[in-house]
A and B are shown apart, each in its own frame.
Chain A
Amino acid sequence: MSVLTADAPAVTGIGVVAPTGIGVEEHWAATLRGVPVIGPLTRFDASRYPSPFGGEVPGFDAAERVPGRLIPQTDHWTHLALAATDLALADAGVVPAELPEYEMAVVTASSSGGVEFGQREIQALWRDGPRHVGAYQSIAWFYAATTGQISIRHGMRGPCGVVVAEQAGALESFAQARRYLADGARVVVSGGTDAPFSPYGLTCQLGSGRLSTGADPARAYLPFDAAANGFVPGEGGAILIIEQAATAQDRSYGRIAGYAATFDPPPGSGRPPTLERAVRAALDDARLTPADVDVVFADAAGVPDLDRAEADAIGAVFGPRGVPVTAPKSLTGRLYAGGPALDAATALLAMHDSVIPPTAGGADVPPGYALDLVGAEPRPARLRTALIIARGYGGFNAALVLRGPNT
């Protein structure tokens, strides 16, 4: 199959719209500072809810970053993705008008769609009646809205896709981008964002039982720490521009070298979890061995059982303390579909600058985890290969192998 033999595709552009900032520079500086940007939600008054904290994109003004007509017809989640796409295209130096329309593709991941927009309209329906639902509800709420709007805005008529695998979705979007390239696309806009903050969106998330209910935002999301007590959600994500290796030439941040996805058996089945297999299969796909991996960006659920399961899988593949592990999402909260997209962006920047970004908290890693967790300070290191792990609620596992540009 051509997807497996083609030269590994290159990432040529990164667009970040995340709690760590807007644009690569802001994001990377904030990530290296290592100070969590989690606080009380400002998008609505969340003080009555048991998990009132989140990571919000600071200073995001849709009027500055989204065409005026698109603002009322799209949800905040799509605003964030449109802004990230603009940044990524500019970063890559890709001018869509100059490229063949059918050779530009789009694939995004979403978890909760246009949840804030949807809550507004569903409230209008139930409070005021059916005629109070606006015309844009039909195109703003559903999970495909972001891909459709990106395609339209940039005249991209190649394959257009949307994947949902909760937090694992963004990695799946990169795998899908690789398939599109193998089929002849030249440029793929891929990645993901989410914007899960409306009162109903938060209420739904509380159902997962995984949100932190800690009272101190600085201690609310402590992945791999003995004090881990759940996670804090965040909004935003990243969009990457992925191109065929041959056309990317010297504009590359790095390459998509390998990918695999697995799914866990249901609880109580007695069958083993499958994350370890996903990691091994992704390395096989990249034709690499565990020894080639210089850093792991962990899923870092912040839930003790899940942290232990991930530590076990990493240990099984790499050996005890066998590879540096980091979780910069400890700074931002978990961005759902946006999270692993942001991790991929961060990993590419880390390889470029030869430094592993820090993990907030993580001061007290249970010895049984046997993790070499990068703590509160960045760690300089020569980085050629990074592994990104993502797990989606319900049993989704994905692993992505990125390599630096000159590997």
Chain B
Amino acid sequence: MSRPQGGGPRRVAITGMGVVAPGGSGRKAFWNLLTDGRTATRKISLFDPAGFRSRIAAECDFDPAAEGLTPREVRRMDRAAQLAVVSAREALADSGLVAGEGDPARFAVSLGSAVGCTMGLEDEYVVVSDQGRDWLVDHSYGVPHLYRHLVPSSLAAEVAWAGGAEGPVTLISTGCTSGLDAVGHGARVIAEGSADVALAGATDAPISPITVACFDAIRATSPNNDDPEHASRPFDRERNGFVLGEGAAVFVLEELEHARRRGAHVYCEVAGYATRGNAYHMTGLKPDGREMAEAIRVAMDAARVAPADLDYINAHGSGTKQNDRHETAAFKRSLGERAYELPVSSIKSMVGHSLGAIGSIELAACALAIEHGVVPPTANLHNADPECDLDYVPLVAREGRIRTVLSVGSGFGGFQSATVLREAA
């Protein structure tokens, strides 16, 4: 990796943002949904969910052709790749950078995804296996781009092609913290001097039978099939699991001076990031929130931020009992009394849980919260779990000056991540 050019530590700015989330494509539609407190959870339409335990999800109204993808791109790309590429193009346009301009060697990609091209893999499996009949599947029915589906680094490759990046390109796949970890990695690559600009973000398109079935099997998802709009209820006493989502968010990250030199709009700075493993259980969480608290502490140290400096916490808030209690404890453990004073909200109440993508989608919400001075609410929160006794911003968005934001994530495998975004002073 190249050496930084003297001077102090390199700071990393967000100068562009693209979002494809349930409830509308583009960051404006996304932000409107959040600030209105509307939910995008509904009955699954991407396949017939009859026979499944959870038949609801937060789907994107996504038309790849209308979003400008060519027929070849549509054919080649899994839905997760399509979401990522459309988000990346929106982010680039927003940043004022033009694909192919600038030094491609100094342009990196760090994309996150938990389950990669699951949807394409499953669609094609059904064909080559004759709907599951054959173990020795018939390769003669295999499509040429099947290999791109098998290895999810193809997602990062598509984003690199879309942006013209020729620097370090990688896919980060740490389950449900992938979206925080990929942005953290992208920021790191810039800070250490290996690149000046990065497309960093995450994508997942997991609303397919196999993913729905695997969460059914462990009762992780909400079975509120009769009332999908109100099914994702983080911190509420009536919650009964998460609601699967899909989507992508991609940022243009840029070395701060690089951004300033070209007069770019700076949303905020990626000020600190850390991840820790709980080394406890692949899906279980201890109620003490200890390792997430450690990630928060390290991320805040890196950002040189004290609890008193925080203005908002974007929670993981998946809507499972163990998660809500785990992270509530983590906030108290890491922030002390300050935890009780801060607004804490979960946008998963509105856009569902898009696995690896959600961490980046949540960071987009955080950056927009700083930009607009609005904290998005936790929808569907009517009666908080008595063990969750923080200010979860029920139902209605809240205005206020927001300079510094903490966003956290927690995922299968024990991953606990924390990111601090800060207004770039």
Contact = CB atoms under 8 A, between A and B. Distances in A.
Instruction: Check whether chain A touches chain B (CB < 8 angstroms).
Output: yes
A157 B291 CA distance: 7
Contacts of A45: 136
Nearest to A395: B157
Given A4-B193, A144-B412, A164-B173, A264 B132 contact: no
Contact of B150 (A73, A204, A281): A204
A125 B147 contact: no
B1 interface: yes
A123 B135 contact: yes
Contacts of A156: 277, 279
B214 interface: yes
A212 interface: no
Given A122-B210, A160-B174, A260-B1, A207 B145 contact: yes
B275 A161 contact: yes
B368 interface: no
A318 interface: no
A110 interface: yes
A376 B128 CA distance: 40
Contact of B279 (A141, A151, A259, A281): A151
Interface stretch (B26-34, B108-116, B378-386): B108-116
B70 to A, nearest CB: 13
B157 A262 contact: no
Interface string B124-163: 1110110111111101001111111111111011001100
Interface stretch (B2-10, B17-25, B308-316, B393-401): B2-10
B217 interface: yes
Contacts of A101: 279
Interface in A242-298: 259-266, 271, 274, 277, 281, 284-285
Nearest to A122: B210
Interface string A330-353: 000000100000000000000000
Nearest to B274: A159
A152 B153 contact: no
B283 A262 contact: no
B171 interface: yes
B257 to A, nearest CB: 15
B153 A204 contact: no
A138 B170 contact: no
Contacts of A134: 217
Interface stretch (A30-38, A165-173, A299-307): A165-173
B166 A274 contact: yes
Interface stretch (A55-63, A85-93, A111-119, A217-225): A111-119
Contacts of A214: none
- Of the candidates B153, B154, B160, the one having the most CB atoms from chain A within 10 angstroms of its own CB is B153
Interface stretch (A12-20, A194-202, A363-371): A194-202
Nearest to A106: B277
How extensive is the interface on chain B, given as a class? Answer: 35 or more
A278 to B, nearest CB: 9
A138 B215 contact: yes
B408 interface: no
A155 B156 CA distance: 31
A274 B104 CA distance: 11
B306 interface: no
A362 interface: no
A63 to B, nearest CB: 21
B121 A144 contact: no
A111 B151 CA distance: 5
A4 B81 CA distance: 33
Contact of B413 (A119, A148, A203): A148
B173 A144 contact: yes
A137 B118 CA distance: 13
Nearest to A115: B150
A157 B294 contact: yes
Nearest to A265: B166
Nearest to A278: B168
B153 A394 contact: yes
Contact of B2 (A162, A172, A200, A281): A281
A261 B4 contact: no
B217 A133 contact: yes
Interface residues of A, number: 95
A289 to B, nearest CB: 16
A149 B165 CA distance: 33
A231 B218 CA distance: 40
Nearest to B133: A127
B115 A394 contact: no
A393 B149 CA distance: 12
A208 interface: yes
Contacts of B209: 125-126, 130
Given A261-B168, A274-B166, A152 B147 contact: no
A139 B173 contact: no
B144 A207 contact: yes
Contacts of B173: 110, 142-144, 162-164
A392 interface: yes
B4 A1 contact: yes
B216 interface: yes
Nearest to A120: B135
A4 B166 CA distance: 21
A179 interface: yes
- Of the candidates A45, A110, A200, the one having the most CB atoms from chain B within 10 angstroms of its own CB is A200
Given A126-B132, A266-B161, A138 B283 contact: yes
B160 A206 contact: no
Contacts of A49: 139
B356 to A, nearest CB: 9
A68 interface: no
A235 interface: no
B278 interface: yes
- Of the candidates A130, A172, A274, the one having the most CB atoms from chain B within 10 angstroms of its own CB is A130
Given A285-B1, A396-B153, A165 B279 contact: no
A361 interface: no
A263 B280 contact: no
A204 B173 CA distance: 20
B216 A130 contact: yes
B179 interface: no
Contacts of A392: 151, 153
B223 interface: no
A50 interface: yes
Given A139-B412, A142-B114, A158 B193 contact: no
Contacts of B2: 260, 281, 284-285
B161 to A, nearest CB: 5
20 contacts: A1-B193, A4-B193, A118-B210, A121-B210, A122-B132, A123-B135, A126-B209, A128-B132, A138-B214, A144-B114, A145-B413, A152-B277, A157-B278, A157-B294, A161-B172, A164-B156, A166-B153, A260-B1, A274-B166, A394-B153
Given A156-B277, A164-B116, 20 more contacts: A44-B136, A121-B214, A125-B209, A127-B133, A129-B51, A137-B210, A142-B413, A143-B116, A143-B152, A154-B279, A160-B414, A164-B156, A206-B139, A260-B2, A262-B168, A263-B160, A265-B104, A336-B151, A392-B151, A394-B157
The 8 closest A-B pairs by CB, nearest first: A148-B413, A126-B132, A127-B132, A207-B146, A394-B157, A204-B150, A207-B147, A160-B277
